[in-house]
Amino acid sequence: MEQKQQVIAWYFLAAFLVILTIQNFFIQGHVESLPYSEFKALLHAGKVKEITLTEQAISGSLSDDSLEGLVAKETAERLKQLGKGEHLFTTIRVNDPSLVQDLEAAKVRFAGQVESKWLSTLLSWVLPAVIFVGIWQFAIKRMGGGAGGLMAIGKSKAKVYMEKETGVTFDDVAGIDEAKDELMQVVEFLKAPDRYRRLGGKIPKGVLIVGAPGTGKTLLAKAVAGEAGVPFFSMSGSEFVEMFVGVGAARVRDLFEQAEQKAPCIIFIDELDALGKARGMNVVGGNDEREQTLNQLLVQMDGFDTHKGVIILAATNRPEILDPALLRPGRFDRHVAIDRPDLNGREKILLVHSKQVTLAPSVELASIAARTPGFAGADLANLVNEAALHAARAGKDAVDMEDFDEAIDRVVGGLERKNRIMNPKEKETVAYHEAGHALVAEARPNADRVGKISIIPRGIAALGYTQQIPTEDRYLLKRSELLDRIDVLLGGRVAEELVFGDISTGAQNDLQRATDMARHMVTQYGMSESLGLATFEEPRTSAFLNIPVSQQPATYSDRTAQAIDDEIGKLLADAHARVVKTLEANRGNLEALAKLLLEKEVVDRATLDALLSAQAPVGKDSDSGGETTAHRPSDQREPG
């Protein structure tokens, strides 16, 4: 707001200076104001050439001769500086009966003039006021985003992209083939509506695209418009709601009016949850501006006719909080869910984003896709960009696998902290910690293979990490596999106990993840022998965001809660015992791997294989399970 006020002040100051300059230099020129006595002296000396008489003033011109002695010294100096030529003057008219006789005696040409009050008022007040109002309107229009300023506050702020302006087609969208197939029907309807109408079919009024952040919801909507070749109205849900009551509803009406004028077209509302949150969730009151805007949207979706070719697309990553009235048939009829891409999808997305990047022949996109489980499309785009930036900083001609390795480490673990210097004791602790993770992962039959071990600090608190590469995407996990994951998470903590006889704070994140996994096994997956097949409610979380949606009160007794805690403790204690057994049997490997980490700081897969083959081989334990979350580093924290 302060910036807008400053802009207005600068506009008014500039306008004032412009008007003042025009009056002084282009309209009036330089007019010297003289006392009446000096005017009379100049008149008797024959220096006055001609004058004009009004009721209140006398104005005229003087000859360019020397005026010294006739006027004040300062006045003579000012007139002298103006150079040769006629000099204009003005003076106040006094009651002088002999003035006309003196003018005739000096043979001065004189004339009378009647002043027009309304004309002088117009020139002195109205004209500058008109100029100022014009500048004010211009400033308000600029601050109003070019839509008419305050008078257009109820106008829609939707950005309209015509056929070729979206610049996105289905060729730019990869990894979400099922969603593309669903939305292809919308494209076919917009291109050939009669194909559906002749059989009596109706295209859905609205399509709701749901998915995690970065999975390509907005990109997919733009691709639909680009493929169909129709105008594309793009607007965020938050742009409807303003502090003024009724503005949001007015903008909804205006948006649909514009869309019907440009039909066939597509209306896209991004972040629909900002507008379509379920009514009654506001603790302050139910009749607020947002709910009025939502009501208007519901009415407009009921009122417009799909035969005109207006399709509504919306995107959100929080579908669970949307108003049920929005989701019923007749409004958002079809829901398209976009999940994180699988292995093949990630490879296709990497192929799309690497088209503009010069890749070295050694780059294997399939290998990069295998190392990035859980990455969304935006994550993969960022990964390719980071690799290209790393290669550019190194002065390379092409992006190679080394650049992608560094980019994966940076995206997963954070920025390398080269300026963080650990003392030798802490560095040794981190080395044994990460060696413990790696050896337990190698010893478990259901664990992913270790891809890299590092004790280089990254990010805010990670002092080291063990990276695992999954062989395939997993959607179901067995009990033995979950136990393997818990074992690997505890490997670092147990290694510290065995080597130093003491423990550090570095395992805080590992313990938290192991506890959460054990709790889920007991309360949600029915994997507890003592508690049986029952499940126990926990706070609901968003389907695509790891945030709680509502706090559910406990639906079980205190006795059951104690039994849950006991079972979680038993699972962790059993895992601890298994890991102790594994690392004691592989103490030589643990020592060798830790010393190698202290020497090189980073150990890759090939180096790890060479070390383990030289030492006693690590056997796959059959009585255990365990595996860390793929590609995520163990979050080491400094002892404190």
Please indicate whether residue 548 or residue 81 has the higher confidence score (pLDDT). Answer: 548
What proportion of the chain, given as a percentage, has pLDDT over 90? Answer: 19
* Count of beta carbons in the 10 Å neighbourhood of residue 450: 24
Question: What confidence category does residue 139 fall into, taking pLDDT thresholds of 50, 70 and 90?
Answer: low
629: in domain: no
- The enclosing domain of 244 has a CATH number of 3.40.50.300
CA of residue 460 relative to chain centroid, distance: 22
- Tell me: do 249 and 295 sit in the same domain: yes
Range of the domain at 185: 159-338
Residue 536 or residue 142, greater confidence: 536
Do 330 and 366 belong together in one domain? no
Instruction: For residue 215, name the pLDDT band (cuts at 50, 70, 90).
Output: confident
Name the pairing type of β-strands 540-541 and 465-469.
unpaired
**At which of 53, 87, 115 does a domain end?**
115
Q: Among all chains, which residue has been given the structure tokens 């506050």?
A: 153
Mean pLDDT (whole number) for 442-459 = 87
Least confident of 86-90, 204-208, 212-216: 86-90
Q: Which residue in 386, 434, 442, 627 is the catalytic one? A: 434
Between 68 and 377, the higher pLDDT residue: 377
Is 138 among the domain residues?
no
* Of residues 256, 237, 295, 266, the one with CA closest to residue 155: 256
Instruction: Report which listed range, 224-228, 314-318, 635-639, is most confident.
Output: 314-318
In a domain, 127, yes or no: no
Range with top average pLDDT, 198-207, 225-234, 298-307: 225-234
* pLDDT, average across residues 549-553: 63
What's the confidence (pLDDT) of residue 578? 95
Q: Average of pLDDT values for 366-394?
A: 90
Confirm whether 434 is a catalytic residue: yes
pLDDT of residue 627: 35
CA distances from 486 to 72, 136, 397, 562 (A): 103, 68, 44, 21
Strands lying side by side in the sheet with 265-270: 159-161, 232-236, 265-270, 310-316, 206-211, 332-338
Cis peptide before 264 (omega within 30 of 0): yes
- What is the arithmetic mean of pLDDT over 322-346? 87
**Number of structural domains, the chain?**
4
Under a CB-based contact definition with an 8 Å cutoff, are residues 177 and 163 in contact? no
Query: Would residue 153 count as lying in a domain?
Result: no
β-strand partners of 452:
467, 604
Give the number of other CB atoms < 10 A from CB of residue 54.
Answer: 12
169 lies in the same domain as 248: yes
Q: What is the mean pLDDT of the chain?
A: 78
Q: For residue 540, is it within any domain?
A: yes
Cα–Cα distance, 243 to 300 (Å, whole number): 22
What's 95's domain CATH number? 3.30.720.210
pLDDT score recorded for residue 573? 95
Q: Are residues 391 and 506 in the same domain?
A: no
Residues 347 and 327 in one domain: no
> Among 101-110, 162-171, 174-183, 188-197, whose mean pLDDT is lowest?
162-171
pLDDT above 50: residue 202: yes
Average pLDDT over residues 320-325: 87
Q: 87: helix, coil or strand?
A: strand
Check whether 23 has a pLDDT greater than 60.
Answer: no
CATH number (domain holding residue 393): 1.10.8.60
Which has more pLDDT, 213 or 154?
A: 213
C-alpha distance from residue 460 to each of 321, 411, 420, 464 (Å) = 33, 13, 11, 11
Q: How confident is the model at residue 124 (pLDDT cuts 50, 70, 90)?
A: low
Residue 42 falls within a domain, yes or no? yes
Residue 637 has pLDDT above 50, yes or no: no
* Confidence at residue 173, expressed as pLDDT on a 0 to 100 scale: 84
141, pLDDT greater than 50: yes
25 located within any domain: no
Question: How many Å apart are CA 48 and CA 37, to the nearest integer?
Answer: 13
Interaxial angle between packed helices 217-228 and 177-191, expressed in degrees from 0 to 180 and rounded to the nearest 10: 30
Same-domain status, 396 and 256: no
Look at 58-72, 246-260, 398-412, 455-469 and tell me which has the smallest mean pLDDT.
58-72
Judgement on whether residues 473 and 549 belong to the same structural domain of the protein = yes
pLDDT digit string (tens) for 407-422? 988 888 777 776 667 7
pLDDT in tens, 490-520: 999 999 999 999 998 888 999 999 999 999 9
Q: Who has greater pLDDT, 329 or 283?
A: 329
145 band by pLDDT with thresholds 50, 70 and 90:
very low
pLDDT in tens, 272-321: 888 888 877 655 544 577 788 888 888 888 776 666 778 888 999 888 88
Q: What is the pLDDT of residue 60?
A: 78
What DSSP string describes 556-604?
S-HHHHHHHHHHHHHHHHHHHHHHHHHHHHTHHHHHHHHHHHHHHSEEE
pLDDT exceeds cutoff 70 at 28: no
Give me the CATH number covering residue 440. Answer: 1.20.58.760
Q: Do 273 and 545 form a contact (C-beta atoms < 8 A)?
A: no
Instruction: Based on the fold, state whether residues 166 and 308 are members of the same structural domain.
Output: yes
What's the pLDDT at 582?
93
Name the domain boundary from 82, 115, 148.
Answer: 115
pLDDT: which is higher, 554 or 411:
411
Q: What is the pLDDT of residue 624?
A: 46
Last residue of a domain, one of 63, 88, 115: 115
CA torsion through residues 485, 487, 491, 496, sign: positive
Distances (CA, A) of 128 to 32, 86, 133, 229, 569: 24, 30, 9, 49, 83
The residue among 465, 450, 364 whose CA lies nearest residue 410 is 465
β-bridge partners, 269: 235, 314
**Residue 78 pLDDT level (bands cut at 50, 70, 90):** low
Looking at residue 156, its pLDDT comes to: 53
Kindly tell me if the per-residue pLDDT of 572 is higher than 50: yes
The reply to whether 515 falls in a domain is yes
User: Domain check: are 175 and 315 in the same one?
Assistant: yes
Same domain? 347 vs 394: yes
Percent of the residues in the chain that have a pLDDT greater than 70, as a whole number: 73
Residues 409 and 428 in one domain: no
- pLDDT computed for residue 142 by the predictor: 58
**Averaged pLDDT, 578-596:** 93
**What pLDDT shows up at residue 79?**
60
Q: Given this model, what pLDDT does residue 484 score?
A: 94
Q: Is the pLDDT of residue 132 over 90?
A: no
For the entire predicted model, the pTM comes to 0.68
If asked whether residues 393 and 531 sit together in one domain, one would say no
